[in-house]
Every structure is written in C-alpha cells, then in structure tokens.
Amino acid sequence: MRSFFAKYKMFGIVMLILSVVIMYLFYDALQPKKMLPVYQPNMVDPTLVDSTLHYTKKYHKISDFALVNQNGDTVTQANYKDKIYVADFFFTTCPTICPIMTKNMAEIQNEVLEDPDIMLLSHSVTPVIDTVEQLKRYAIEKGVVDSKWNLVTGDKKQIYELARKSYLAVKNDGDGGPYDMIHTENFILVDKEKRIRGFYDGTNREEIAKLLDDIKILEASYNE
C-alpha cells in the first residue's frame, strides 16, 4: 500500500498545483477589469468649469493649442499625439503649493522616464512673468527632462481657455483683470484620444501613487 502511495505522490502534488493554477486563472478571468472614467464637464466642480460647459455630458476633449516651452520651441497637440499625459497649472514664483506639485511631478517623470507613451505638460498661469528664460531656469533647477516634460508659456487668453474649457482645472479670478485665474493643485490624466481620465491632488502622496497606478491601467487598456 505504501509503495502505491509513494508511486503516485508526485503525480498528486503536480495535479494539486495544476488545480490551484487553473482555479486562479478562472477567478482572474471572471474579475471585471478596472476601467477609468471619462470625465465630462458636468461631472466636475462648476467653479473650475467655464459656464458655457456646465451641462456638457459627452464628447469633451482637450482643445488644440500652440504654446512655447522652456527651450523656446512651439509645443502643440502634435507633440502629444498618441501619448498619455499628465497636465497641471502652476507658476514659477508660487511660494505655496507649486513647489510641492513640481516635486511630485518630477517623481512621476522619473517613474515614467523610460516609457515613450507617457509625457508631462505644465502650463504657467502667469505667462507674462514666466518667460522662456524663466521657465528654462526653473526647469534646470527642478530636474526637468526636456524630452519628457514641457513647461509652457504663451498667450494668457489661450492658457485661460485651456484651463477652464479643456482641462477644467482652475478657478476664475476677476479681481486682477481679464483672464486672471487661480490654479488648483490638480494633476489631470489625459488619454490618447485627448479625453480626461482622472483628477488627482498633486500635493498628496497617496494621490500621486493612485495616479501612477491609473497610468498603468490606462496604458494596459490600449494593449488589450
């Protein structure tokens, strides 16, 4: 009897392992794949959205743009074609949340540095102050990798409209003249179709971790 069990012991172990693997594969296949939402203007805090879009429920995309980066090069939507990217709004002389946001964006840059499908885009909300020269100094100081991360300046009206009509990420401020804006701490995740797929607090470490996870989820959705 002992010889019988000894003879089939290895066979039984192998079958047990195969059974566990098969059960795991079935379980994994039955789990719903996590999908990121596609954000529309009516899903966002109205104070961050231009009034003309408050009731927009579908088809929202980032508008085309032409801005200038830290190297004096014109950056357009073409630079981000077929890319997933993270956008935000900042200014180089900001003493409060911007240094934290920039530090966290630099961490994201380092995490995705070797991934050609992921890029970053930071818009200055004080373009008159943030000249190309100023952006370049800031980029060098903060460790910006030019091929991965554009800091952009340009026409204030265009940046204002991008912020409130495309990225849904800044508050209106009418006290300082036309197109004044108060930027938020939001990082915005944009997919290859120019749709918003997530908002994250750029000053919060847990939110940064979530953003990095969501980038992986979004990227995987293009490989299915």
Residue list, annotated binding site for Cu cation: 94, 98, 183
Alpha helices in the chain (DSSP H): 2-30, 98-111, 132-142, 156-161, 205-221
Q: What are the angstrom distances between the C-alpha of 167 and each of 86, 125, 128, 130, 181? A: 11, 13, 21, 20, 13
What 8-state DSSP symbol labels residue 152? E
Q: Which residues are annotated as a binding site?
A: 94, 98, 183
What 8-state DSSP symbol labels residue 63? P
CA distance 187 to 3: 66
Tokens of 86: 């993270």
CB atoms within 10 A of CB 196: 25
CA distance 188 to 120: 10
| 171 HSE (CA, 13 A, CB side) | 8
The 3-state secondary structure of 76-91, one letter per residue = EHHHHCCCEEEEEEEC
